[in-house]
C-alpha cells in the first residue's frame, strides 16, 4: 500500500540562537537594573586580553567594585593572573567549546551579587570566529588586535569586528619593531565597522591606558545613567 | 566549531515547533545565513547531520539560502552590494559604508512538516 505523505510549509522567521538571545537579554536587563557595566573582550589567542585586563582591573579596583569572568578551553591560569589584582575573578572552562554562550555567563554569575558590582568584564575564549555569533548580554564588546597580527585582520574577520562596539589595538610599543602600518589598521577597522571608536594601548609600557580607563568609565556612565 | 551549537539549536527549535504543530517529522528546515553571520555553510551541514541523530528530525534536510553583505552607501544614498567579500566598499562608487544592512542573518525561515 502506498501511503501518501502530506507536507506543509510552516513559516517561522525565528533567529536560530533564540535561546541564547533570550538569556542574553535577561542578563542585560539584570546588569542595567543593578547598575553594572558589563564589558566583554574578544580577540585571537595571544592578542593580550589578559595582560590588558590585568592593568585595567588593577586601576579600576582602587575606585570601583570590579569582577571578571574568564573563558578558556582549559586551565585556570588566566583567572589566577587576574585574581592578583584583588578583583573577584572566576574561570569558565569550556572544555572543547570554542566560545562563551550566554547560559555559561548566567551560570557563572549565579552566586555573585550583581548589586555589589560596578564593572563586570567577560574575557571570551581567544578566537576571532566563533564568539562573534553569541550575544553574552554585555553592554560593550571590545575587540582587541595586536600590532603583530597584520593590518588586514578586520578584513579577514569582518563578522567579529562588525559586532564590536569599540576596538583596541594592543602591543603598540612593538609597532615600530614589527613595521606595523597603524593608519592602515585604522582604515580597515572603519571599513568593516563604520564609526567605531579605536584606542591604541600597550599593557607593557602603559601607553593609552589612561584613555582606555576614561573610555570604560564613560561607558559605565552611559550604560548606567544613575551612577 | 560553534556550528554544532547552532545545529543543535536548529534541531531544538524545529522539534518544538513540530510538537506544537502536530506531525510526524520535519522534512526540511529552511535557513537564511548571512555571509557575515559567522557560520560556515559546509560546517553547519556536517554539524546538522550529527545533531539530528535520534531526534524527530533524523531525516531532515537543511536548505540554506545565503544572504550577501549589503551596505548603505552614503554617496549613492541607497543600499548597495559590496565590491567583494575581501573589500567591503560600495560596489558602484567604492565609498566606505555608513552601515551594513544585510549579512548578519541567521534565521529559520520555514519548516516542511510531514503529517
* Domain extents in chain B: 2-114
pLDDT tens per residue across span A17-46: 999 999 999 999 999 999 999 999 999 999
Superfamily of domain A3-223: P-loop containing nucleotide triphosphate hydrolases (3.40.50.300)
Q: How many CA atoms lie within 13 A of A4 on its CB side?
A: 2
The CATH number, out of the four listed (3.30.70.20, 3.30.2320.80, 3.40.50.2300, 3.40.720.10), of the domain defined by the range B2-114: 3.30.2320.80
Nearest-angstrom CA–CA distance, B15 and B60: 11
Judge whether B34 and B104 are in contact, CB under 8 Å: yes
DSSP notation for A152-201: THHHHSHHHHHT-SEEEEE-GGGTTTTT--HHHHHHHHHHHSTT-EEEE-
CB atoms within 10 A of CB A36: 26
CB of B68 less than 8 A from some CB of A: no
How much is the ipTM here? 0.88
Residue of B nearest to A129 (CA): B38
Does residue A3 carry a pLDDT above 80? no
Stated pTM of the model: 0.92
Distance of residue B62 Cα from the nearest chain A Cα, in angstroms: 13
Q: What local confidence, expressed as pLDDT, does residue B108 receive?
A: 97
Residue of B nearest to A15 (CA): B107
Nearest-angstrom CA–CA distance, B44 and A209: 40
Judge whether A176 and A205 are in contact, CB under 8 Å: no
**CB–CB contact A15 B12 (8 Å):** no
Q: Which residues of A touch B27 (CB under 8 A)?
A: 7
pLDDT tens per residue across span B17-74: 999 999 999 999 999 999 999 999 999 999 999 999 999 999 999 999 999 999 999 9
Q: Which residue has the cell 545565513?
A: B33
Does residue A155 carry a pLDDT above 90? yes
Q: Which residues of A touch B104 (CB under 8 A)?
A: 159, 162-163
Residue A30, exposed/middle/buried by CB under 10 A (0-12, 13-18, 19+)?
middle
CB of B12 less than 8 A from some CB of A: yes
Distance of residue A84 Cα from the nearest chain B Cα, in angstroms: 32
pLDDT tens per residue across span A78-88: 889 999 999 99
Q: What local confidence, expressed as pLDDT, does residue B85 receive?
A: 86
pLDDT tens per residue across span A87-115: 999 999 988 888 999 999 999 999 999 99
Q: What local confidence, expressed as pLDDT, does residue A54 receive?
A: 96
Which grid cell is A56? Answer: 585595567
Domain boundary assignment for chain A: 3-223
Distance of residue A10 Cα from the nearest chain B Cα, in angstroms: 5
**CB–CB contact B17 A13 (8 Å):** no
**CB–CB contact A191 B107 (8 Å):** no
CB atoms within 10 A of CB A168: 26
Angle at B54 (CA atoms; ends B48, B60), nearest 5 degrees: 45
Nearest-angstrom CA–CA distance, B81 and A212: 35
Amino acid at each position: 500500500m502506498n501511503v501518501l505523505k502530506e507536507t506543509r510549509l510552516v513559516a517561522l522567521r525565528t533567529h536560530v540562537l533564540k535561546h541564547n538571545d533570550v538569556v542574553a537579554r535577561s542578563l542585560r536587563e539584570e546588569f542595567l537594573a543593578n547598575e553594572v557595566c558589563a564589558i566583554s573582550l574578544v580577540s585571537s589567542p595571544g592578542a593580550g586580553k589578559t595582560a590588558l585586563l590585568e592593568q585595567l582591573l588593577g586601576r579600576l579596583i582602587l575606585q570601583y567594585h570590579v569582577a571578571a569572568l574568564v573563558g578558556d578551553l582549559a586551565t585556570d591560569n588566566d583567572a589566577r593572573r587576574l585574581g592578583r589584582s584583588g578583583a573577584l575573578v572566576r574561570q569558565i572552562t569550556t572544555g572543547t567549546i570554542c566560545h562563551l554562550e550566554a547560559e555559561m555567563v548566567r551560570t557563572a554569575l549565579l552566586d555573585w551579587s550583581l548589586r555589589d558590582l560596578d564593572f563586570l568584564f567577560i574575557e571570551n575564549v581567544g578566537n576571532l570566529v566563533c564568539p562573534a555569533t553569541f550575544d553574552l548580554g554585555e553592554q560593550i564588546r571590545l575587540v582587541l588586535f595586536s600590532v603583530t597580527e597584520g593590518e588586514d585582520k578586520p578584513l579577514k574577520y569582518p563578522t567579529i569586528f562588525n559586532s564590536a562596539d569599540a576596538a583596541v589595538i594592543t602591543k603598540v610599543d612593538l609597532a615600530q619593531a614589527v613595521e606595523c602600518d597603524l593608519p592602515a589598521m585604522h582604515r580597515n577597522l572603519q571599513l568593516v565597522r563604520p564609526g567605531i571608536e579605536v584606542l591604541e594601548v600597550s599593557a607593557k609600557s602603559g601607553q593609552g591606558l589612561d584613555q582606555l580607563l576614561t573610555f570604560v568609565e564613560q561607558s559605565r556612565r552611559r550604560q548606567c545613567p544613575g551612577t | 566549531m560553534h556550528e554544532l551549537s547552532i545545529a543543535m539549536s536548529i534541531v531544538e527549535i524545529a522539534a518544538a515547533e513540530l510538537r506544537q504543530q502536530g506531525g510526524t517529522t520535519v522534512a526540511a528546515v529552511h535557513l537564511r545565513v548571512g555571509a557575515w553571520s559567522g557560520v560556515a555553510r559546509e560546517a553547519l551541514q556536517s554539524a546538522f547531520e550529527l545533531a539530528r541523530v535520534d531526534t524527530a528530525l533524523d531525516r531532515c534536510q537543511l536548505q540554506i539560502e545565503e544572504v550577501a553583505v549589503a551596505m548603505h552607501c552614503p554617496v549613492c544614498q541607497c543600499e548597495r552590494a559590496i565590491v567583494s567579500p575581501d573589500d567591503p566598499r560600495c560596489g558602484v562608487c567604492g565609498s566606505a559604508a555608513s552601515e551594513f544592512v544585510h549579512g548578519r542573518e541567521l534565521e529559520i525561515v520555514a519548516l516542511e512538516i510531514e503529517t
